[in-house]
Amino acid sequence: MLRVGSIVMRVDDLRRQAEFWSAALDYVPREENDDDFVLMRPKDGVGPNLSLDRVRSTVHVPPRIHLDLYTDDQAGEVTRLIALGATEVHWSKRPPDADYVILADPEGNRFCVVDTSA
């Protein structure tokens, strides 16, 4: 049996991205990290790890893969994430009744905040 253990994201500014994603997801560093890699885990131990790998790369638009983050308080979470440094991404093909909002982290990596309250 396979399961997702860690999602690896390439980043330029490791410290800034670790701060953003730690605050965004309530994650903590899993172990000693170095200048090129941070492995973070959920504080409550539930869910996959997020690994940040400092490797120069280009953000692709649209991304080949992105995170969908689920919440019962979409508006509150979008506001909180924007205050942490995310930006809203407007996409012309997004349906008017979409249950998701597209955001980008401080380096432009896109992710969706999905409303699960319905």
Q: 68 and 108: one domain?
A: yes
* Residues of the domain holding 18: 1-57
Q: 65 and 114: one domain?
A: yes
Which tokens sit at 17?
Answer: 């991205």
Q: 36 and 83: one domain?
A: no
How many structural domains are present in the chain? 2
Say if CB 73 and CB 117 are below 8 A apart: yes
Q: 71 and 110: one domain?
A: yes
Phi, psi at residue 5, to the nearest 5°? -100, -35
C-alpha span between 109 and 85 (Å, rounded): 12
C-alpha span between 70 and 59 (Å, rounded): 23
Asked if omega into 62 is within 30° of 0 (cis), the reply is yes
* Average pLDDT, 10 consecutive residues per value, the chain (118 residues): 92 95 94 86 94 89 91 98 97 93 96 94
What pTM does this model have?
0.92
Q: 64 and 115: one domain?
A: yes
Q: 6 and 31: one domain?
A: yes
What pLDDT score was predicted for residue 94?
A: 92
